[in-house]
Structure 1
């Protein structure tokens, strides 16, 4: 959703948006164990009950590929966005059958397609473990030792919880390290595709319409979770209310927003503006050019690159939007005033122990500046290659397994083993020709960014030109074979050192320096985490619990109203109609990305044109909220969130409801499309909308 933007718009958009912020329940991504009860009652006359919150929590679903969803039947039916499902659809496709292009519908349960390496999580419980984490990290430890102590206690908590409950157990850091909560999830790994529209309908309008409004998208896909080869029996699932909403209605969203930076310091914001965002943008734009060029070489190349190209285009847009916001004087002034308020209170209350915290973060950011590009290019971005990523996972596995659980890297902890192996042994197709051009590009990019004499670049190139080296690595490795990966995974560390595979050899040559660099970054993060914990005491003393923590891809509750927007002197109604899709397609002469699929064209006379299709609300959302259910006061499904408008870009740093809006598919539009266009009577009967 909010990974999409109109990158051509100027920073002045964000400046106008910041004109009014609202201190209310709307202004937050709330923990479900700490909802804004008083604010909801004061503004909307609504108080959520414990049963209401539990029902929404256990009806909500997290997708391991970065999105949200919800259960909508007792037989494990799950709804999410088409663009959340695109990665799954791509992996299930082949040169002969492109599910992204053609769509899919299972008329019977036997026809539902098993998905590759897709894991869905349902949050079962939350436990505050802050005191235990803090007790394990001594105040006299240096940053490296403190980081190791923190890693050890987190691993201990997660493993104890997994052993006790059998549930996936993740400790989430909240308020930049001021709090730690243990989240326990039920995992579903037998997930099957039920329905997906054609991309021409699910992504109608494409790049020109993204991060805009009005919109006309059927951005929905259905899956089903299974247990013991049978549809899972689900107690908590959402009822669909076919009446939908009206303008002004109170609505809620439960989803998993990925990341926000509302509580960062000015030093961290300056780092984002001057270092991290520009470097990531350079990398993304370079990859987008590469993928566009490769896509033009053949139809099959275009199919292979399609999902990744869309991802890069989306990333380019959101980071273009972020840099516009970071350069916005209004945002900077607002953040500066907030920081000065906190620092003044800290100076007046030395007993809170926050003096010096801001200076420590500033020094940490300066240290990170020298590491950032190399850390991303050598450790984080995996040479833009699935083969390199899996080779690194295999090479590190025996070394990490030999360590005590608390000393391992997070992915190798016992509590993460099931998720790690699901990904490592995925049967997803890997295309050598596609991998080759991506590895070549990464080698060239490394040399440009770090210099051709940089030690990591020299090792990566191996004395060869990028094209020759890429061919040696990609065409010479056997890591693409799942059976070979299983063989390597069974080796001990000594045996792994003798493996003669070019991709494994590259990982081996880089690993010591790469690990050392990661340890430096971890120590810097530890310094910042401790400083933020002290700042959080100041914030709490001033504001209490009226501020929600930044997003961490954990379950949150969003609040808002269905509301149109006054933009450029014109009032934009909150709803579009499904008939407007045909009008917009005709206006563009049915040319991509405005060409409708055959199913829509054939059903044109059958579709109830006045049916509400997409709508906007003031609910605070960000990337990761894609697929979040939109709910009414009764907790009933009335839509699904899939995007934000251009003004919502500023939500990464500050909330405003002046112009910013979340964009959703209306329940009535979904039902009408399933009925009149796709004749999905089985789905409609299962949903059983009121």
Structure 2
């Protein structure tokens, strides 16, 4: 394709080393490789990605579909974040064996705990299939027809592209639909919990410190990949053996210094770096404020219960963290976008864009893009806001409504696919909800419901008429006293019997009646219009991306994150968050002790860690008599990079990515190298906790420790 040839040509231009961007590892040769080496990297592009010999990519794992992990031993030992393993740690916890509070350490492989349905995926190879995917697309006129043809072509290629029987083919879109890459993957299904520090280490600072610097969190947990006797993926079996990887990461004990090269390798979830100014304004002024208000209300209710009841704390710990994570992120994102004047920067770029359109005679092709964006974002505003209210209130933050919505989907299956499909789905739903109700507290959810349903009725556009005059307190009391959605036993009763009986029973249930009104309204009055306008915006975004690549040949364009394997590189570097304030690059155990509040939900410190601090029993992990805890760098990361390895110039493990700084959370939309920093656990803190705190020398013995800086000096 002419577009891709242009982009490859652009990559070869010699330019000064820069930072920012999430780059596909199979396409590093040229500009990226040169930049990385200018920043201090000692490796080649082939050391990072190679399909003929082992390379760094063979140690990078897509962990359970949402995080990243890395292989750190020849026996398939996996390192990821504590918050990525949190659900598994919680599922193995009870009042008697509270691994969240006390931690867990397997001193032998026999003690490692299996995790049903957890998966770990490795990338075998990456292939450009753009031309084949886009065959027959250009002559089509409507956006819907184009997307249908692209999907048909993609399905055909995924089925026919060569792979081994245990492997999978997955096609992903890049540059807003201007490029398509096929990933050959291997997914392992026997993943066992090996070790986790107590939450007072792995979650130290909890929600108060989330998204902020300085940070003192030992955010790590350890798992192991098991395979069959042929080293291939297999379902859990006691006969499985530890996986032997093609590559595992050596661990550097030399630490980091300001200016050191860093590379984060992982699976970033989603960014939107090329949105027009109209979209960014809508995020700042309309969508984020609504979502923040909804989650703020839910969190206040849950927090009140969790602080008073240990059982509720265990039930809601993971859910609370999940809700709080993006609540706080959206707050920081909006503030950062305003502070960095992102909307005006977008408008300035759009002015230059329009000038180049005219200068290069592209008015017929690209001249109306910006005005079409403006028109469509105005048209979608109320539908986008109503959609967010429905998702946040019904689907994500009110548990009774979430259950009701799953049953609503069950009813739709009955209507569209018949009784057999209904019965199959019903059986799976009932089984899956057993674990759901294990962590459900009706009193907590009742208060959340009352707060959120009031917000929905008072502030969401396009609501059912009766919601405008609803008595929210009375409705709450009626539903939570009469609905069978409030307990697993009652739900089983509600769903027992043949399909027609179940549907009749559902329609009589007060909780389901409310959900049905909300869902019917969503699918009749909100979703169709939103989807239609969003489809048009998607087509505009594809053309806008193509235009930027054509009109700015000297530009720096990386594909937006889409949960595929990427590398991002930068340097260890402090920053100025505000006037007269400077943040250094590293934190130490002294900072943990400074924040220590005995018995506090967020800032308690285990007695053994206090003892190690007082006796300075640090082993080989200290630097200048101090234990390093976390550090920051300029790597461009996002959700999904949680658990990603931070690597040094030689590809050795120096840290574990887990967060971003508050001032730079807007980097999903606008990356600013002055204030955007990713936060990593120093690997020496991880080793110190495993070795000195947990006494898990069996794990230390598996790893390969190196001293690259000392070797260089010699």
Query: Which one is further off, 504-513 or 278-287?
Result: 504-513
1:644 has 2:637 as partner: no
1:138-157 mapped onto 2 (5 Å cutoff)? 140-154=140-154, 157=157
Tell me the alpha carbon deviations over residues 521-563 of structure 1, each in whole angstroms, 9 at most, x when there is no partner: 3322221221122222221121367311222222210111122
Aligned to 1:657: 673
Specify the SS of the correspondent of 1:616. Answer: strand
* Structure-2 residue corresponding to 1:374: 386
1:277 equivalenced with 2:288 (yes/no): yes
Instruction: Report matched runs for 1:278-677 at 5 Å.
Output: 278-296=289-307, 298-328=309-339, 330-351=341-362, 353-378=365-390, 381-382=394-395, 384-385=398-399, 386-388=402-404, 390-392=406-408, 394-396=410-412, 427=435, 429-433=438-442, 434-450=444-460, 454=464, 457=467, 465-475=475-485, 500=506, 502=509, 513-516=521-524, 517-541=526-550, 542-543=552-553, 546-565=556-575, 568-569=579-580, 572-585=583-596, 591-604=600-613, 605=615, 607-608=617-618, 609-677=625-693
Alignment CA distance shift 1:395-1:153 (3 Å): farther
Q: Which residues of structure 2 form unaligned runs of 5+? A: 1-14, 228-233, 619-624, 707-714
Cα distance change, pair 476–69 in 1 and its aligned pair in 2 (3 A): closer
Matches of 2:430 and 2:164, distance apart in 1:
22
Moved more, 674-683 or 476-485: 476-485
Q: Distance in 2 between the 1:400 and 1:162 partners?
A: 36
Moved more, 556-565 or 64-73: 64-73
State how far apart, in whole Å, the 2-side matches of 1:630 and 1:426 are. Answer: 38
| CA contact 2:41–2:649 (8 Å) conserved in 1 | no
Structure 1 counterpart of 2:25, from 29, 32, 35: 32
For each residue in 1:307-333, what CA deviation from the matched residue of structure 2 results, as whole angstroms up to 9, or x when unmatched?
A: 222333332221111221233363233
Compared with structure 1, are the counterparts of its residues 157 and 90 closer, same or farther at alpha carbon in structure 2 (3 Å cutoff)?
farther
- Residues in 1 aligned to 2:469 and 2:155: alpha-carbon distance in whole angstroms: 33
Range moving further from structure 2, 141-150 or 309-318: 141-150
| Greater relative CO, 1 or 2 (CA 8 Å, sep 6+) | 1
Structure 2 CA distance, aligned partners of 1:48 and 1:170? 27
With the length of structure 1 as denominator, give the TM-score of the two structures. Answer: 0.83
Q: Could you tell me how far 1:582 is from its partner in structure 2?
A: 3.1
Q: Displacement of 1:629 after TM fit? A: 0.2
**Deviation, structure 1 residue 345:** 1.5
1:348 Cα shift?
2.6
1:178 equivalent in structure 2: 178
Distance of 1:465 and 1:389 partners within structure 2: 18
Q: 2-side partners of 1:198 and 1:665: how far apart?
A: 15
Cα pair 2:485 2:491 within 8 Å, conserved: no
Secondary structure of the structure 2 residue equivalent to 1:38? helix
Distance 1:393 1:521 in 2: 20
Deviation at 1:277, TM superposition (A): 1.0
Aligned length: 648
Partners of 1:272 and 1:308 in 2: how far apart?
Answer: 25
Q: Secondary structure at the match of 1:245?
A: coil
Q: TM-score when scaled to structure 2?
A: 0.80
Query: How has the CA–CA distance of structure 1 residues 366 and 583 changed in structure 2, closer, same or farther, with 3 Å as cutoff?
Result: closer
Root-mean-square deviation (Å): 3.8
Q: Residues of 2 paired with 1:572 and 1:377: CA distance? A: 37
- Could you tell me how far apart the structure 2 residues matched to 1:422 and 1:561 are? 50
Residue of structure 1 equivalent to 2:226: 226
Quickly say closer, same or farther: Cα 1:473–1:129, change in 2 above 3 A.
Answer: farther
Q: Which residue in the other structure is 1:256 paired with?
A: 267
For the pair shown, the structure with the greater C-alpha radius of gyration is 2
Flag the 1:628–1:267 CA change in 2: closer, same or farther, 3 A.
Answer: same
Superposed displacement of residue 292, structure 1 = 2.1
The answer to whether the 8 Å contact 1:620/1:655 transfers is yes
Structure 2 counterpart of 1:118: 118
**CA shift for structure 1 position 80:** 0.8
Q: SS where residue 654 of structure 1 aligns?
A: coil
2:171–2:183 Cα contact (<8 Å) kept? yes
State the Cα distance separating 1:146 from its structure 2 match. 4.6
**Range moving further from structure 2, 441-450 or 528-537:** 441-450
